[in-house]
């Protein structure tokens, strides 16, 4: 976590407070302490958060946090904290298995959902339109660049025709 000398905005402060709240809830439930994780707001893309188990580290998406602060703090933070807590209690188990679901229900009182429902339009990757004989396809920047450089050719799974830029 940042030192007290680091300037952090109110939303980042709320995120850190919610993480601490989750840990205190778990410590009260299990009557034991857990090591606090390193926390960063350096996640990009459409994922809201990630727990890095062996590193005891949490990463969160600052754009999705800013766009959905209430739901993010209520659902995403406990979701990711639960992964770390399960790691400390049970070791390597299925990511969203029985232990994680139990942690979400019994410790945090939440429905164990594996995916968020946020609008991800602002963080969705740019795509390029391509066409085959039967439909239009959206290729990622990486695939589009490979086609442009002549390094790859993509075929439609439906009709088998080569995809051509629109």
Q: Which residues are catalytic?
A: 80
* 138 sits in which H/E element: strand 136-140
Alpha-carbon distance of 107 to 77, in angstroms, equals 13
First-to-last alpha carbon distance for the chain, in angstroms, is: 48
Alpha-carbon distance of 90 to 84, in angstroms, equals 10
Q: Nearest-CA neighbor of 58 among 8, 20, 107, 111? A: 20
Q: Nearest-CA neighbor of 35 among 18, 59, 13, 19? A: 19
The encoded tokens of residue 106 equal: 């019994």
Q: Nearest-CA neighbor of 162 among 140, 142, 149, 147? A: 147
């Amino acid at each position: 976590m940042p030192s007290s000398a680091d300037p952090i905005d109110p939303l980042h402060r709320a995120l850190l407070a919610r993480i601490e709240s989750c840990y205190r809830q778990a410590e009260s439930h299990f009557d034991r302490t857990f090591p606090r994780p390193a926390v960063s707001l350096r996640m990009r893309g459409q994922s809201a958060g990630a727990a890095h188990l062996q590193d005891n580290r949490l990463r969160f998406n600052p754009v999705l946090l800013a766009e959905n602060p209430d739901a993010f703090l209520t659902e995403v933070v406990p979701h990711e904290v639960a992964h770390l807590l399960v790691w400390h209690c049970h070791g390597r188990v299925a990511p969203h298995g029985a232990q994680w679901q139990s942690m979400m229900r019994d410790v945090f009182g939440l429905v164990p959902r594996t995916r968020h429902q946020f609008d991800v339009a602002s963080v969705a990757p740019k795509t390029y339109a391509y066409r085959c004989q039967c439909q239009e396809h959206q290729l990622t920047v990486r695939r589009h660049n490979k086609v442009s450089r002549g390094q790859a050719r993509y075929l439609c799974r439906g009709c088998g025709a080569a995809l051509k830029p629109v």
